[in-house]
Structure formats: structure tokens, C-alpha cells
Structure 1
Amino acid sequence: MSRTSSVETAKLQATLTLPQIVALYIGSVIGSGILLVPGLTAEMAGPASVIAWLLMSVLVIPMAITMGLLAAKYPSSGGVSHFVRLAYGNKAGHLVGSFFLLSVPIGGPVVADTCAQYLAVLLHWGDVQTYTVASLILIIPLAMHVFGLHLAGKVQTVVISFIVAILLLAIASSIPHASVDNFTPFMPSGWKSVLQAAGLMFWCFIGWEAVTHLSAEFVDPRKNAIRGVLWSAGIVSLIYFAVAFMTVATHSYGGSSSVAALSVMVQRSLGPAGGWIVAVTAIFICFAAFNAYSSAGARIAYTMAQAGEAPKWLGALHRKYRTPIGGLAFIAVGNAISMAALLFKTVSLSQLIALPNATFIATYIGGCLAGIRLLRDTRLGRMSSWISLIVTLGLYPFLGWPALYPLAVVVIMMIWNLRRSRPTDTTDRNPFTS
């Protein structure tokens, strides 16, 4: 373990047990995608979309294993950026850390707004009420994290248990309405549509990198990191595939129904009450996802500040709880700016979501490259890293113009490094500086 990791482990308390680790992993992966993507992919590729779901459910396991093995071997609040730093040096690690850090303030409001819209439709809310609820989804996890991951981890475990129970209820209640007839014609739009659907599904499986930033606070990380990721990968894959399969089997998609396929599917058995169940579940899903990402983002801010790669105030810790309040403040300000941009229609939700998607995938590419070098002593590590790298590199060209956002982050970091170096040079030449 590196000296930096040892220092971090001493300052950040190890409080996360295996059930809490599994809950954080599931919460970071099962997000707004499960509310939107199964219906959209079914409309795009027809019943053949289940092939793409099966494929992605299998391919996500190497990605999860890669992140789990890295977290077990090199626990650090720096997460993926720490792995890349060990493999390729400080500059590469700094860059990947910046990708993740500048994704969370944008991605959080996207997730929160998506879920608040479910309640807005039921209650006929306007923008003010919708964005008020979305803001609460962001504020509550940030406030909890001030008191430490012990509280946040317990809350996450309860929330994830509720989410999984509701999703299982949705799957089970839809079984009587399933029909083999809904699988014909099986591939109405050809193989190309299946591949396009698989690309869209990647958004549903982003999140394995988030919990690696909390690995310094795992209890027994060498054992629990890989156990946690295997348990959560299996649960997530089964839930996603089951929801997507039943969406097709009950034909709960098409037209306006595609963006709310889960709600349509539940209402077939439970009536209007099903709509409320899904709406409440949507709020919990978004809470869980942002809970995981905000905690991870705050810790990468702390790590970068400690290394001199970000402003010092980002590394501030709460005096009593030893939590990264500097990073939490940065995320809170970024969330407020992004939420205001959505409220005042400066950008649309679809435009905003494309930016963190690009930087998250760039983060994955960096993590896979690090895995190839750092996990080469194990066959499982090598295979998982290579498979994950091939999948993410194959997807990146299809991002379109948002693929330029990581390049913008590079420019921002170059400017910061230049500004940081100038005062140092001036200080060295100033005889009045103590």
C-alpha cells in the first residue's frame, strides 16, 4: 500500500461493513436508467432488445470485478484516480480524478430531476415544485455525509432493501400479463438496432467506479471489496434483465409509454396505485444513486486537495466527524448551478446528461488501463481489465460531441496547474515571504 493510502486510511475511519458495501454498490448502479431505458430499448429494438440486455448483464461483471479487485488491492479515497496514478504516474491520475470530480455536480441534478418528474406527472406540478423536490433529493444526502459514512451507509442499506423489494414486486406482479405473442416479430429492426440498444444500456451500468473512492473506509477491504462487488453485480444484472424481459413480455412500451415502462407494467396489475408505488420508488432510487456518488465525489476532492492537485479548501475535514466537508461544499455549489440551468431552461435534461456520461466513460477507460498493469499478476484481473477496456473503447466513438467534454476538463486542469506554479515561483524569489 502506498504512503498516501496509509495516511488516508488513518484519517478516514473504516466503518463500512459488507452489507453496507453491497448497498452502496447497488445504489450507485441502479439509478434513473431502470426507470427509462428498458422501455426505450424495447421500442428501439423490439423483443430482440433482451439479447442486448443479456449481453450487457454479462459484460458488466468484468467491469465490476476489475474495480473490485483494484479496490481490494489498493484501497484509497482516490478511487480510480489512485489506481491510474499508481500505474501511469501523477499526471494521469490527476486527470482521471478530475473527470470524476467534474461529473458529479452535473450528474446529480440530472438524476434528481428525472425522478422528480415522476411525482410531477401524478400531482400536476409546475417547475417550481418539481425542482424543489429534486433539490431535496440532492441536499439530504449531502447533509448526511457531514456526519460520516456510518450513518449514510446504514440509511443506504435500508433504502436499497426497499428498492429491491419494490422492483421484485413489479416483476412478480407482471407475470400474469406476460405473453409469448409479445415476442413476435422478434427482431423488427434488424441487428443494428440491437447494437444501438446495447450502447444506450451502458448508462444503466455506470457506477462501479464510484464506490472505489470509499474503499479506504471499508472494514477489511481486501476481503469485502471483491465480495461486495460480486454480490452486487449479480443482483444488479438479474434485476435489470428481469425488468427488461417483463417489459417486453407484457408489451409495456411504445409511444409515450416507453419513458415510463416500469410504471405501465406495474399498473397492469395494481392499477393507479402502481403509479404511486413507482413514483415513490423513483425518489428512493435517485436518493440512493446520489448518496453513493456524492460521497465518492467528496472524497476524490479531498484526495486531490491533499496532493496539491486542487484548491486546499477542497481538502477540508470536519473537526469532529472527520468527513470531507470541502468536497461536499464543492458538489453542493455545482449542483445548485446545474439545477438553476435546468430550471431556467438554459440547457435541457438530454443535453446535460450527455456530459457526465462522457467523463464517466473516460474514467472507466482509465480504470481499465490501470487494471491491465496493476492486476497483471492474476489471470482474473487481466481478463476482466481487457474485456472492460474493449467494451468501453468500442462505445466511446458513439458518444458524439459530448466526447469533447473530457478534453475540456483537460484544458481546465492545465490552466489550474499553470496558476498553481506561478505563486510558487514568486514565493521563491520574494525575500519577505516566510
Structure 2
Amino acid sequence: MTNESKLQSTIGLPQAIALYIGAVLGSGILIVPGLAAQMAGPASLLAWGFMTLLILPMALSMGLLSAKFPNAGGVSHFVTLAFSPRAGAYIGWFFLMSVPIGAPVAALTGAGYMTAAMGWGDESRMMLAAAMLAVGLIINWIGMKVAGRIQIAVVIAIVAVLIFAIAAALPQMETVHFTPFVPHGWFPVGQAATILFWCFIGWEAVSHMSEEFTNPQRAAVRGVTIAAVIVGLLYFLTALATVGTQSYLAGDSDASLVWVISRAIGPWGAIIAGLTGIFICTATIIAYVGAASRVAYALSRQGQAFRWMGILSQRFHTPIGGIAFLSVCFVIIMVLYGSGTVSLINLIQFPNATFILTYLGGCAAGIKLLRGSRWGVAISWISFISTAIVFPFVGWAMLYPCLITAVLWITDRIRHKRTLSHPTSTITEQEKATVRHG
């Protein structure tokens, strides 16, 4: 193992598309269409339509930056170039500390669908979630060439199931199900839109793998555009099927898609939905473990993280230092959950603010770095404003980035004092060049 190796460029356009879809198309597609329809009725489709249009600028703002400045630091690197190395380090740590919680949440959510379908208990849920996390870690250890291929297969399976569910819903859709169109007034439509927003963030995650794109311009811009269209259509059509069949009124609103599938194929529907949940959440884990391990590598390379976090595998040229860090964090979170110290509801809320701040940082960097492109600046502003509007709704989760900021500030102070007391101690030329050039 060495940290003098380099990440290998192995991610082509198909893999990039699959990684983008996996990062954004979370378990929300099984839950949110029913919740939104319950809140706003058929008018929720207007909120879906608006968010489907908004998805393109949100995706392209990250895609354009990844194409122009491909780097394992991703958003952290963009912020470093636009503002300062310290600001970039803070954003990098915000993202890095989101994934140790976000990935176990995704695993427990996906495992929950399967255990509910099979009638298994919480112990089985824990074991299945742990297996999903292990898969994400191992695949990323082997390398993005393999991870990208597996991600393609997983995404194809997800899309196939969703298309089947949508097609199965067509014979059950009736025009009467769309009336009254606005049963609860217009305000719930706006409320639904704020919930839908969470379904369309995640584009920033793949920017951390842009250093491994074989052709960053093609994979980032074209890949994110194709992925945005696919994700937008899948979400909107799933919402249309939910409203058109009134499945959100048939039982629990968060099981509306399960109801649609069950109507088509009977008792096997719940099992198919459970497997779909596992596939969707595993795809998310693969993408985010890949992104976070590369952020750890980039931060270490810049002298903003422990040196061991920048170690690369000699065999696979993958960031095993970052993967090891995530592995330890995953074990801690799973133990805390398994012991009942924290609930899934609490875990879900923790990374909300840090994920959004990461995305806001990327949008702000885009406004400054994409000045040569009129469209680039415009879409960065659109993404920044729409994200900023939602940020206050994270509530007490704002405390998590505040805690991270406090720890980083204290660490910076300690490092500064050590530098003053040991003036002969200097950073490496590579670190100097990294800070100087971003």
C-alpha cells in the first residue's frame, strides 16, 4: 500500500450514468410519491412536474464543475478553488462525515423493506444491512471499474422493476382518480414540493469520482444530463401511477408502490418491492462509499486529514485509507443503532444539514468558477437559491455541521500552535502545490 500511487481513470460514460442514478434515486421513490399524494392529492403532480424541471440545473451545476475541474476532492476542491483551502476542507469534512451516518441509514431502510416483506425481525434487518454495507465497501476496494459495472447491472434491475410497476398501473388508472384535482388547497402543493426536493439531491456525490473519469467532459456533462432525464421521468411516472390508481388511499401512503406491484403479481409483490428496496439502497451505498473514500483521500493529500486516510491500495489503486475510516464508522453507527442508543429516525436527520451545506458550497463555487459560461452561472444560481430555501427546514440537524466545524476549528488551532513552536516543521512540496493551485 502506498499513497504515492494515483487513482486510475476507469469510469466511462455508462458507469458514470449508473453512478449518478444510484446516488440520486434513493428509497424515496418507494415512499415519497404516496406521501406527496396524501398531502396534496392529484395536484402533487404539479410539484413533481416543477421538481422534474428543476432537476436538470441542479444536476448540471455539478456536472459542469466536474468536467472543468475533475478531482477526487469534488465539491471540496471546487470550494477550495473558488474561495480558500480552509473553506474547501470544511466542505470536504461535511460530506465525509455525512456518509458514515447516511450509508447505514440507507442500508437499514433497504433491509427494512425486505424484512417486512418476509416477516423477519430486527436482528435479520441488522444482518442484512451490515451485508449491504460490506458489499459497498468491498466493491469500492476492488475498484471503480468493477463497481461501475456492478452499478450498471443494479440500476438496470431497478429501472426494470419501476417500469414494470408503472406499466402494471396503466390498466388501473382512471380519470376520476384525478378529481378533485386540488382537494386540500394550494398550500399543501408547496409543502409537498419541499419534501420532493430531498429526492433530487445527490449529484454532488459523483463529483468526487470525477478524477477517475476516462473523459471528464463527456462523462460528467453528458452522463449527468442523461441520468437527470432518467431519474426525473422515473419519479414523475411513479407519482403518476400512484395518483392514477389512488394506491395512496389503499393503505399506508408509504407503501403505495408496493400496492401497485402486488395488484399486478399478487403476494410476490411485497417481495419484489423488498428486493427493489435492497437494490436501490445498495446502489446508493456504492456511490456514496466511493465518493466519501475519495474525499478522505483528497483531504489527506491536501494535509487536511490524517495521512493514513490517503493510503491507496497497491493492487487496485483504490483509497483503502478512506474505506478503512468508513468501515470503522459504519461499525460504530450499527452498534449504536443495534443497542437502541439511537433510533433510525434520529439517524436520518443527522446528515441532512451537512449534505445540503455541501451542495450549497458547490453551487456557490459554480457561481464563481463558471463565469465564462452564461448558462453555467445561471444554473448555479438556480440551484443555490432553491437549495437555500429548503435549508432552514433541516431544524436541529444544523447542530451536526456546527459540531464538525467546532472540532475542525480546534484542530486548526492546535496545529497552528505546533507549527509556531516547531518552525522547522513544514508541509511537503506536494501539499504546498495543492493549496496554491486548489
TM-score by length of 2: 0.94
Structure 2 residue aligned with 1:24: 19
CA contact (8 A) 1:17 1:218 kept: yes
How far did 1:125 drift?
1.4
Report 1:44-63 matches (<5 A): 44-63=39-58
Deviations 1:262-312 (A, max 9, x none): 111111111111211111111111110110000000000000011111111
Structure 1 residue aligned with 2:304: 309
Structure 1 residue aligned with 2:432: none
How far did 1:189 drift?
2.0
Report 1:2-401 matches (<5 A): 11-254=6-249, 256-401=251-396
* Runs ≥4 residues deviating over 6 A: none
Given residue 261 of structure 1, which amino acid in structure 2 is its aligned partner? S
Given residue 119 of structure 1, which amino acid in structure 2 is its aligned partner? M
How far did 1:255 drift?
7.7
Structure 2 residue aligned with 1:415: 410
- Secondary structure class of the residue paired with 1:185: coil
- Secondary structure class of the residue paired with 1:11: coil
Structure 2 residue aligned with 1:3: none
Given residue 333 of structure 2, which amino acid in structure 1 is its aligned partner? S
Question: Distance between the aligned counterparts of 2:90 and 2:143, measured in 1?
Answer: 27
Given residue 327 of structure 1, which amino acid in structure 2 is its aligned partner? G
Question: Distance between the aligned counterparts of 1:80 and 1:331, measured in 2?
Answer: 19
Identity of aligned residues (%): 49
How far did 1:420 drift?
2.8
> Cα–Cα, structure 1 residues 397 and 178, in superposed 2: closer, same or farther, change >3 Å?
same
Question: Distance between the aligned counterparts of 1:281 and 1:295, measured in 2?
Answer: 21
Question: Distance between the aligned counterparts of 1:315 and 1:425, measured in 2?
Answer: 25
CA contact (8 A) 1:203 1:357 kept: no
How far did 1:9 drift?
12
- Secondary structure class of the residue paired with 1:309: coil
Question: Distance between the aligned counterparts of 1:295 and 1:394, measured in 2?
Answer: 29
- Secondary structure class of the residue paired with 2:194: helix
Structure 2 residue aligned with 1:4: none
TM-score by length of 1: 0.94
Moved more, 414-423 or 246-255: 414-423
How far did 1:354 drift?
1.3
CA contact (8 A) 1:97 1:304 kept: yes
Given residue 382 of structure 1, which amino acid in structure 2 is its aligned partner? V
Question: Distance between the aligned counterparts of 1:427 and 1:373, measured in 2?
Answer: 37
Given residue 166 of structure 1, which amino acid in structure 2 is its aligned partner? V
Deviations 1:308-331 (A, max 9, x none): 111111111112211111111111
Deviations 1:400-433 (A, max 9, x none): 1112322222112112222333443444489xxx
How far did 1:197 drift?
1.0
Given residue 174 of structure 2, which amino acid in structure 1 is its aligned partner? S
Question: Distance between the aligned counterparts of 2:343 and 2:172, measured in 1?
Answer: 36
CA contact (8 A) 2:178 2:244 kept: yes
Question: Distance between the aligned counterparts of 1:287 and 1:319, measured in 2?
Answer: 26
- When the two chains are superposed, the root-mean-square deviation of aligned CA atoms in Å is 1.6
- Secondary structure class of the residue paired with 1:188: coil
CA contact (8 A) 1:106 1:338 kept: yes
Question: Distance between the aligned counterparts of 1:350 and 1:196, measured in 2?
Answer: 20
Moved more, 337-346 or 27-36: 337-346
CA contact (8 A) 2:118 2:271 kept: no
> Cα–Cα, structure 1 residues 230 and 429, in superposed 2: closer, same or farther, change >3 Å?
closer
Question: Distance between the aligned counterparts of 2:334 and 2:237, measured in 1?
Answer: 33
> Cα–Cα, structure 1 residues 10 and 71, in superposed 2: closer, same or farther, change >3 Å?
farther
Gapped runs of 5+ residues in structure 1? 1-7
Question: Distance between the aligned counterparts of 1:191 and 1:263, measured in 2?
Answer: 28
Question: Distance between the aligned counterparts of 2:220 and 2:107, measured in 1?
Answer: 28
- Secondary structure class of the residue paired with 2:248: coil
Gapped runs of 5+ residues in structure 2? 426-438
Moved more, 62-71 or 261-270: 261-270
Question: Distance between the aligned counterparts of 2:342 and 2:147, measured in 1?
Answer: 31
Structure 1 residue aligned with 2:436: none
CA contact (8 A) 1:301 1:327 kept: yes
Question: Distance between the aligned counterparts of 1:127 and 1:9, measured in 2?
Answer: 43
> Cα–Cα, structure 1 residues 255 and 312, in superposed 2: closer, same or farther, change >3 Å?
farther
Given residue 185 of structure 1, which amino acid in structure 2 is its aligned partner? P
Given residue 346 of structure 1, which amino acid in structure 2 is its aligned partner? T
Question: Distance between the aligned counterparts of 1:256 and 1:108, measured in 2?
Answer: 29
